[in-house]
Chain A
Amino acid sequence: MADQGETILEVRNLAVKAGDRLVLESVSIDIAAGEVVAIMGANGSGKSTLGFALAGHPRYEVVGGEARLAGADLLAMEPQDRARAGLFLSFQSPPDLPGVRNNLFMRTSLNSVLEAQDREPVDAFDFLERAKGIAADIDLPAAFLNRPVNEGFSGGERKRNELLQLAMLAPKLAILDEIDSGMDVDGIRSIVETVGRMRAQGTAFLLISHSLAMVEAMAPDRVAELDGGRISRIGSLDLAREIARTGFSRTRESIEG
């Protein structure tokens, strides 16, 4: 795990196209180990685009700028290598994988990450023990581990499943894209507890959320507003409260409606 204070994520003048549209013009942001930065912004301002571009989604094309994860050039890496290097993206809408059991999927994932770090892979029994422990921590019944990944899961269950993987993989950087949407109060408490625990161990968080309550509960180190393809304002939790009161800056038409 990273030392507190070490810069985990460094983004400089990042420009990203989705299709023909330049969604992010120039985004710069730094997050240190153990820090939480909340990104807020109107619909269509490019919050999810930032997460996908950093994770390497093929539909988002980086056309300028730099991004480093603990010093390594993120943009030069394949998506799986970014994950192995310690980048985790909690999806706003995680897809299902019909018939693929959660425990097989997660063990394959964990072992890929461990292997990249030259660490011993875990066998099925050790994995199950570890997974059950984490599932209990986040109030997810152990039976979830035996179900196919996200198949027939409710929105809230999918998000808990993301949380389970987050806790399992213990990444250097976690990008949480509206992890609170669809979650009940217990679920939100689980998020706050998990993030608190992992933060103390040095994980850096980029939190994307629309909810002031969520942002407040996470006690972010900084709050940034995304507008016009740039970070338009940056400040403390007070910025989040101000946005909640007066609304977002809108320098251009929202695309996502």
Chain B
Amino acid sequence: MSAAHDDTTIAQALSRPYPHGFVTEIDSDTLPPGLDESTIREISRLKREPEFLLKRRLAALEHWRSMPHPDWAKLRIEPIDFQALSYYSAPKSMADGPKDLSEVDPKLLETYEKLNIPLHERARLAGVAVDAVFDSVSVGTTFREQLAAVGVIFCSFSHAVENHPELVERYLGSVVPLGDNFYAALNSAVFSDGSFVYVPAGVRCPMELSSYFRINARNTGQFERTLIIAEAGSEVSYLEGCTAPQRDENQLHAAVVELIAHDDAFIKYSTVQNWYPGDEQGRGGIYNFVTKRGLCAGARSRISWTQVETGSAITWKYPSVVLRGDDSNGEFHSIAVTNHRQQADTGTKMIHLGKRTTSRIVSKGISAGHSQQNYRGLVRVAPTAQGARNNTQCDSLLIGGECGAATYPYIETARTDATVEHEATTTRISEDRLFYCQQRGIDPEEATGLIVGGFCQAVLEELPMEFALEARALLSVSLEGAVG
């Protein structure tokens, strides 16, 4: 038994195949590769959009063209040929717009079935409403009527544009402006679908809402847009999951998510991200370049991000909260796992504007193989944020000697009465810890699972039940060992 042997055991355990790598053979209407004004007009026409949206798209395109590709993150990104990508792909059977799930192509339903995402009527038992997005379009949303009965709007973004244009016009871009950053600008120009949630004042959404994103088509970017509005005193918990087929080339996913919480409202947004990560040599995999931001617009409002990130070749995302309302609260709970040649530069921003605003950040990074993972976080306390408080806990766990982890905490505070605490630790699954477990009869794989599970415990507890189970299963696939 040598140290080298230990590493091999773990390495073997770590290299389980990606289980969602299948491709659905389905006829699609796909725009030819390339991006210019005519592409934008075509997307807008296909989606029968109102004028304001087309104008907004064109403005975003112009903005995007003037922006250089950002290079500040600690990531190695091969140059992306944006003219070689297709910006819209929809299953042919969706062209006429199925009225309800019974009209949806069975192949699509099968795809989601395979992924364990129930769209059938029997999905009622699961008690979770689902919006399923396949490439560029939403293929169906469950429980729409039941939710409508309490005034909750949960539908695809396209449906919202058609049926609630005033809400879309009022809130779209109110948190992430169209020129916010390179990929947000690109998304604002070409986004095709996504999910829309509106929870009226005083309503506690009676079930978990979730969307499930699937990239299927080749050479196609997925640019979805999610907008969630919680009126005063309302509450909603939203879950998001993602997978993609196993392909040798990289695929781009550049989403924008905007959350707005009014007085006393609470939005909990959870993500289990499992895009195809590429193979052991780093071939293929999704580029996950996402902008997620919540605005605590009202007093005492709360927004909480929880993410479990195990997939993608490159992850580049910082779910953030702008704490504008007095006494508002933002939270970020994250588990990020990188293995093989995966890269992740992820973290959060907490922008304190209102009085007595509070934020909490818990980040758990697990790096294995030859992966590189960075936590990058910003806590900003504005001159108006009297008595603001932040607490950040940032932990890295390294498995093996070939991976890297770095922490970049930025703290900018304009007030002396602010409390900003930052604590960071780096741990290894050391030979001694592993040996201790082995000495108690536990084999190295199971020991790794125990140690990883213990490391992630604080964040797993934040996830809604359904996703906590999925997340644990995912961790054990990504990192083996009976986690939990």
Interface on A for B, CB 8 Å cutoff? 55-59, 78-80, 82-84, 88-89, 91, 94-95, 97-101, 104-106, 108-110, 112-113, 116, 148, 165, 169
Q: Which of A55, A80, A104 contacts B450 (CB 8 A)?
A: A104
Interface on B for A, CB 8 Å cutoff? 1-3, 5-6, 427, 430-433, 435-444, 446, 450-451, 453-458
Q: Which of B431, B432, B438, B455 contacts A98 (CB 8 A)?
A: B455
Given contacts A58-B5, A78-B1, A91-B436, contact A97 B450 (CB under 8 A): yes
Inter-chain contact B439/A84, CB cutoff 8 Å: no
Closest 7 A-B residue pairs measured CB to CB? A99-B454, A100-B454, A109-B440, A112-B441, A79-B438, A83-B441, A80-B438
Given contacts A99-B456, A100-B450, A105-B450, contact A58 B440 (CB under 8 A): no
- Contacts of A57 on B, CB cut-off 8 Å? 435
- Contacts of A95 on B, CB cut-off 8 Å? 430, 432-433, 436
Q: State how many angstroms separate the Cβ of B399 from the closest Cβ of chain A.
A: 14
- Contacts of B427 on A, CB cut-off 8 Å? 98
Q: Cα distance A98–B443 when bound, in Å?
A: 18
Inter-chain contact B442/A109, CB cutoff 8 Å: yes
Inter-chain contact A78/B438, CB cutoff 8 Å: yes
- Contacts of B441 on A, CB cut-off 8 Å? 80, 83-84, 109-110, 112-113, 116, 169
- Contacts of B444 on A, CB cut-off 8 Å? 80
Q: State how many angstroms separate the Cβ of A131 from the closest Cβ of chain B.
A: 14
CB-based nearest A residue for B432: A95
- Contacts of B440 on A, CB cut-off 8 Å? 83, 105-106, 109, 112, 165, 169
Q: State how many angstroms separate the Cβ of A168 from the closest Cβ of chain B.
A: 10
- Contacts of B446 on A, CB cut-off 8 Å? 108, 112
CB-based nearest B residue for A165: B440
Choose among A80, A110, A113 the residue with the greatest number of B CB atoms under 10 Å from its CB: A80
Q: Which of A80, A100, A112, A116 contacts B453 (CB 8 A)?
A: A100
Q: State how many angstroms separate the Cβ of B361 from the closest Cβ of chain A.
A: 17
Q: State how many angstroms separate the Cβ of A77 from the closest Cβ of chain B.
A: 9
CB-based nearest B residue for A56: B1
Q: Cα distance A113–B439 when bound, in Å?
A: 11
- Contacts of B439 on A, CB cut-off 8 Å? 55-56, 79-80, 82-83, 88-89, 91
Given contacts A98-B427, A101-B454, contact A112 B436 (CB under 8 A): no
Q: Which of A55, A58, A98, A105 contacts B2 (CB 8 A)?
A: A58
Give the secondary structure class of B's interface. Answer: helix
Q: Cα distance A68–B432 when bound, in Å?
A: 24
Cβ contacts A to B, 9 pairs, < 8 Å? A83-B439, A83-B440, A94-B436, A95-B436, A97-B433, A98-B427, A105-B437, A112-B440, A165-B440
Q: Cα distance A116–B450 when bound, in Å?
A: 19
CB-based nearest A residue for B4: A58
Q: Cα distance A83–B435 when bound, in Å?
A: 11
- Contacts of A56 on B, CB cut-off 8 Å? 1, 438-439
Q: Cα distance A101–B460 when bound, in Å?
A: 14
Q: State how many angstroms separate the Cβ of B478 from the closest Cβ of chain A.
A: 18
- Contacts of A105 on B, CB cut-off 8 Å? 437, 440, 450
Q: Cα distance A148–B446 when bound, in Å?
A: 17
Q: Which of B430, B443, B458 contacts A99 (CB 8 A)?
A: B458
Inter-chain contact B436/A97, CB cutoff 8 Å: yes
Choose among B440, B441, B453, B455 the residue with the greatest number of A CB atoms under 10 Å from its CB: B441
CB-based nearest B residue for A83: B441
Q: Cα distance A104–B452 when bound, in Å?
A: 13
Q: Cα distance A105–B1 when bound, in Å?
A: 23
Q: State how many angstroms separate the Cβ of A100 from the closest Cβ of chain B.
A: 3
Q: Which of A79, A104, A108, A109 contacts B435 (CB 8 A)?
A: A79
Q: Cα distance A178–B142 when bound, in Å?
A: 63
Q: Cα distance A91–B436 when bound, in Å?
A: 8
Known: A97-B454, A105-B450, A109-B437. 14 other contacts (CB 8 A): A56-B1, A58-B1, A58-B2, A58-B5, A58-B6, A83-B439, A83-B440, A95-B430, A95-B432, A98-B427, A99-B453, A99-B458, A165-B440, A169-B440
- Contacts of B6 on A, CB cut-off 8 Å? 58
Inter-chain contact B456/A59, CB cutoff 8 Å: no
Inter-chain contact A83/B436, CB cutoff 8 Å: no
- Contacts of B453 on A, CB cut-off 8 Å? 99-100
Q: Cα distance A169–B430 when bound, in Å?
A: 24
Inter-chain contact A80/B456, CB cutoff 8 Å: no
- Contacts of A165 on B, CB cut-off 8 Å? 440
Q: Cα distance A101–B1 when bound, in Å?
A: 27
Q: Cα distance A97–B433 when bound, in Å?
A: 7
Q: Cα distance A91–B439 when bound, in Å?
A: 10
Q: Cα distance A78–B446 when bound, in Å?
A: 14
Inter-chain contact A58/B454, CB cutoff 8 Å: no
CB-based nearest B residue for A115: B441
Q: Cα distance A95–B451 when bound, in Å?
A: 12
Given contacts A56-B1, A79-B1, contact A148 B443 (CB under 8 A): no
